[in-house]
Amino acid sequence: MDREALLSRARTRGVNPLVYWIVRGLLQPLFRVYFRLERIGREHIPAQGPVILASNHRSFLDPFVIAVMTRRPIYFVAKKELFGFHPVVSWLLSALGAFPIDRGASDQESMATARAILERGEAVLMFPEGTRIRPGALGRPKRGVGRLALETGAPVVPVAVIGTEAVRRGLRIRRHKVRIRAGRALTFPKVDRPSAALAGAVTDRIWPCVELQWEWLGGLPRLRRAAVIGAAQTGTALAVALARAGLDVDLGARTSEDANRIGAAGRNDRFLPGVPLPDAVAVAAAAELELQHHDLVAFALPPRRLAAALAAHGERIPRRAGVLVAGAGLSPLDAEQLVARVKGGVAARAVAYLAVPEDAGALVDGAAVALASADAAFLAQVAAALRAAGLPVTRAPDVAGAVRVAVPTRPPRRSRAA
């Protein structure tokens, strides 16, 4: 069955009731026993009428475990490549409510299909991230879910699923607890032709509600607030980069006098002349930082000062936070010893090493960096933040590998003041 026929079937005929309820009847006890499936908030999903389920996406199993969360059929988009494996697979997916989408393009036909399904009072499952995101925190949503909510006026139920990413290892499906949580529905006014800005604003209202369900289930929260200890060139440039990535950043100077001087000038001319600090960067003495409120704590200090900094601040770093050690010009052995020292001095959930250019000021110009961590989720999280700041990131297998990555001192120069 070709793509047009599949979309037409979803718009007109819908699921095959016999196939859908037989498969659901088989999967539900399997999921409850084998995956110890826990379903929370089922009462928030309307039993009838149009509804959009907006969920994070970790595994190919997500549509099927979310389907047993509801007492009604749901429709969901699936990448078009899945329908090309075999005619039987294509037919079965279509019978279960799936319809194809071209993830590499703005697929208007698939979105029109979703609108048609909602207009006849059905439920549509959307994955605003656009693709599977694992490991780490949730990804960034695309605005399609906001546009669909505005165009149809359908309520949006935020859903989070956790545990499905650990179910498959190669071709083997292994036992692992899976939990799903649905929040209260969100409603928005119906708009015939919503602008991109309006669709984005609605998506930005929906996605934090998905994050709320995710974090309630114990999922890794996204990085929101960072502390950078060390206000020399590396620390100042790193604070600027993290602020550009959308984080609220506290830059910890050695003394209150240093903090007042940098804060009053709005820049650190001693170490990073000509670079204004973004509004999201607040400067204070490192001893005054309330580290218990931060998701990320970065040490940007010369190795000789690290032991004293750990003694002063290590116990104040919360267990839920991650720690980033920024270094430049170190040998692989020195960098490994530095990271080992930090791991021994903090109770944080993970530690990563960031290899920066010897001229760390190049970070504000988009210089390449290398990153390593034994914690894959934290590694992905920090790499995503640095890329959002415009920095090319190489993820190395270990600290020594990060040091060995060739990092240019500076990309083609552009005006920092701009």
User: What band does 388 get if pLDDT is binned at 50, 70 and 90?
Assistant: very high
Average pLDDT of the residues in 386-393: 94
Instruction: Yes or no: say if 9 and 86 are a contact pair by the CB < 8 Å rule.
Output: no
| 148-162 residue pLDDT tens | 999 999 999 999 999
Average pLDDT of the residues in 405-412: 50
Q: What is the pLDDT of residue 371?
A: 96
Q: What is the pLDDT of residue 321?
A: 93
| 7-29 residue pLDDT tens | 888 888 888 999 999 999 999 99
CB neighbourhood size of 219 (10 A): 22
Mean of pLDDT over the chain:
90
Q: What is the pLDDT of residue 175?
A: 83
User: What band does 408 get if pLDDT is binned at 50, 70 and 90?
Assistant: very low
Is the pLDDT at 359 greater than 60, yes or no?
Answer: yes
User: What band does 104 get if pLDDT is binned at 50, 70 and 90?
Assistant: low
| 32-51 residue pLDDT tens | 988 999 999 999 999 999 99
Is the pLDDT at 133 greater than 80, yes or no?
Answer: no
| 44-102 residue pLDDT tens | 999 999 999 999 998 888 999 999 999 899 999 888 888 877 788 888 989 898 888 87
Higher pLDDT, 137 or 350: 350
| 274-302 residue pLDDT tens | 999 999 999 999 999 999 999 999 999 99
**What's this model's pTM, rounded to 2 decimal places?**
0.77
| 167-181 residue pLDDT tens | 877 667 788 899 999
Q: What is the pLDDT of residue 2?
A: 77
Is the pLDDT at 242 greater than 60, yes or no?
Answer: yes
Cα–Cα distance for residue pair 39/36, rounded to 1 Å: 10
Q: What is the pLDDT of residue 411?
A: 46
